[in-house]
């Protein structure tokens, strides 16, 4: 069978266009290895910062009837302590994209430099966590600060720099353009949607942080719209993320303009087999429709 799903994004070679999204199974080398062995084309780690960070107290995750609501608070061991985990991925076939955060251009660039030294193949700048103060979406809502961060990181590293955007903005195309002009090699659209849940017997917000980020099928149409908007605003590749649970979802994101797709919440509900089933479904669809390569799908919906 002719391989129609191998692809390339910002210089990263992918056996197929599926990636593990940041935030799930991305804390250890072994868990990411199991995702690669299950068929993912690339993995994105849990977001790492300069120093270890405990995150928020429990509860940090709530299951709603349409997806997961989480507010972990960016817990991580600190980027330097992640080297041992990345070493376990050295001989795997899929690129490792290190998700990083910081609260200033200088801090982002320092984390980025360490990420390169410990073996990252690419970086994903998390400027989109919807609830951590002085980081995440506070940056991703400000096109000028975002541009400064991207420029500083690009000055200090020579691996691909991907910027993960928040859907919680009025004009995502404008933010994407600002990241592209500052040197971003690709854009991931999108992180979670800011949301909350309240327990009616105790009358209290459920998450310890009160607000969190909603992921899963509920946000898919929002994410498809964001990918569509970003695709028509920039010339760098777009990576779709938000509620992808089947090959049909992946194809929809590609038609909107995604060159690859990230899968997160579906891994929690369906297990790591989801990567293979999405990749195989895309391959079968391409064959059935007569497309020679997955790249031919990207952005097709813009013709109408
Ligand atoms: C978290 O750690 O709370 C989630 C991170 C994110 O939404 O980017």
Active site residue 241: no
Cβ(152)–Cβ(108) below 8 Å:
yes
Cα atoms in the 13 Å half-sphere on the side-chain side of 298: 21
214 Cβ below 6 A of ligand 1: no
Q: Atom 8 of ligand 1 has which residue's CA nearest to it?
A: 129
Beta-carbon contacts of residue 95 (< 8 Å; ≥ 6 apart): 12, 13, 14, 42, 43, 121, 122
Give Cα separations from 262 to 30, 84, 214, 253, 271 (angstroms): 19, 24, 15, 10, 14
Q: What is the CA radius of gyration of the chain?
A: 18
- Please give the pLDDT value at position 134: 86
CA 130-140-41 angle, 5° bins: 80
pTM over 0.95: yes
72 within ligand 1 shell (Cβ under 6 A): yes
Long-range (24+ apart) CB contacts under 8 A made by 243-247 are: 243/67, 243/215, 243/216, 243/217, 243/218, 243/219, 244/220, 244/278, 245/216, 245/217, 245/269, 245/270, 245/274, 246/277, 246/278, 246/281, 247/277, 247/278, 247/279, 247/280, 247/281, 247/282, 247/284, 247/285
Q: What is the pLDDT of residue 135?
A: 87
CA distance 253 to 281: 14
CA of 103 relative to ligand 1 center, distance in Å: 14
Count of other CB atoms within 10 angstroms of residue 38: 17
Smallest CA-to-CA distance from 17 within 209, 296, 300 is with 296
Report the DSSP pairing between strands 193-196 and 211-215: antiparallel
Structure tokens at 293: 């390569």
Output the tens digit of pLDDT for each of the chain's 304 residues. Answer: 799 999 999 999 999 999 999 999 999 999 999 999 999 999 999 999 999 999 999 999 999 999 999 999 999 999 999 999 999 998 899 999 999 999 999 999 999 999 999 999 999 999 999 999 888 999 999 999 999 999 999 999 999 999 999 999 999 999 999 999 999 999 999 999 999 999 999 999 999 999 999 999 999 999 999 999 999 999 999 999 999 999 999 999 999 999 999 999 999 999 999 999 999 999 999 999 999 999 999 999 999 9
| Residue 184 structure tokens | 């971003």
Residue 238 in 3-state DSSP? strand
Placement of tokens 């966590």 in the chain: 129
**CATH architecture observed for domain 7-55+72-193+216-303:** Alpha-Beta Barrel (3.20)
Number of H helices, E strands in the chain: 10, 16
Ligand 1 pocket check for 212: Cβ under 6 Å? no
Calculate the alpha carbon distances from 184 to 155, 236, 271 in Å: 11, 8, 32
The pLDDT of residue 287 is: 97
**Which of 69, 124, 136 most suits a substitution to test ligand 1, by most atoms within 8 Å of the C-beta?**
136
DSSP label at residue 60: -
């Amino acid at each position: 069978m002719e391989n129609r799903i191998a692809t390339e994004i910002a210089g990263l070679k992918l056996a197929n266009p599926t990636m593990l999204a940041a935030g799930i199974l991305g804390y250890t080398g072994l868990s990411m290895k199991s995702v690669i062995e299950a068929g993912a084309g690339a993995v994105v780690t849990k977001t790492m910062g300069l120093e270890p960070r405990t995150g928020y107290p429990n509860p940090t995750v709530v299951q709603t009837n349409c997806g997961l609501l989480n507010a972990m608070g960016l817990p991580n061991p600190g980027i330097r302590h992640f080297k041992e985990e990345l070493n376990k991925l050295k001989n795997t076939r899929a690129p490792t994209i290190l998700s990083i955060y910081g609260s200033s251009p200088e801090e982002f660039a320092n984390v980025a430099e360490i990420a390169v030294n410990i073996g990252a193949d690419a970086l994903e700048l998390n400027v989109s966590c919807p609830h951590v103060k002085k980081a995440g979406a506070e940056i991703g809502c400000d096109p000028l600060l975002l541009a400064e961060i991207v420029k500083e990181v690009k000055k200090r590293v020579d691996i691909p720099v991907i910027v993960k955007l928040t859907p919680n903005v009025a004009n995502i195309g404008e933010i994407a353009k600002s990241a592209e002009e500052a040197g971003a090699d690709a854009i991931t659209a999108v992180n979670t949607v800011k949301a909350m849940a309240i327990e009616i017997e105790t009358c209290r917000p459920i998450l310890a942080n009160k607000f969190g980020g909603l992921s899963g099928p509920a946000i898919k149409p929002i994410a498809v719209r964001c990918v569509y908007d970003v695709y028509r605003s920039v010339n760098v590749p777009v990576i779709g993320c938000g509620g992808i649970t089947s090959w049909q979802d992946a194809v929809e994101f590609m038609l909107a303009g995604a060159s690859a797709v990230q899968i997160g919440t579906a891994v929690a509900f369906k297990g790591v087999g989801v990567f293979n089933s999405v990749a195989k479904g895309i391959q079968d669809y391409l064959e059935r429709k007569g497309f020679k390569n997955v790249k031919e799908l990207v952005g097709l919906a813009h013709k109408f």
